């Protein structure tokens, strides 16, 4: 969460940090590298942009990819499960 806040501050300044308001990490799985964040829809694109600027986590190079946005937690959770299953299938069949 701090890393996301830092990305917002660095890339969008104090305006971006105060404008985005509250966002929460609803779910994160380190085994599938999948997460679900909750933010007001008005600020979703700003959060998306801040996530794409993150290039390193704890010294490891990363690429953060936003796969989907949804209006409900239930729908995005269902998509995250399907996405993770697809990723596991791709890795085990290669």
Q: Measuring CA to CA, how many Å separate 13 from each of 8, 9, 45, 49, 91? A: 7, 4, 15, 13, 39
Fold of the CATH domain 2-92: Alpha-Beta Plaits (3.30.70)
Q: Residue 8 and residue 29: Cα distance in Å, rounded?
A: 22
Task: Using the predicted structure, report yes or no on whether residue 10 has a pLDDT greater than 90.
Answer: yes
Q: Would you list the domain boundaries of the chain?
A: 2-92
Q: Residue 90 and residue 82: Cα distance in Å, rounded?
A: 12
pLDDT in tens, 64-75: 989 889 989 899
- The whole-model pTM stands at 0.80
């Amino acid at each position: 969460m701090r890393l996301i806040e830092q990305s917002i501050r660095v890339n969008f300044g104090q305006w971006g940090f105060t404008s985005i308001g509250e966002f929460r990490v609803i779910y994160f799985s380190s085994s599938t590298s999948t997460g679900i964040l909750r933010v007001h829809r008005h600020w979703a694109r700003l959060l998306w942009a801040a996530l794409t600027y993150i290039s390193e986590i704890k010294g490891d190079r990363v690429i953060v990819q936003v796969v989907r946005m949804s209006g409900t937690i239930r729908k995005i959770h269902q998509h995250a499960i399907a996405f993770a299953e697809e990723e596991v299938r791709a890795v085990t069949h290669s």
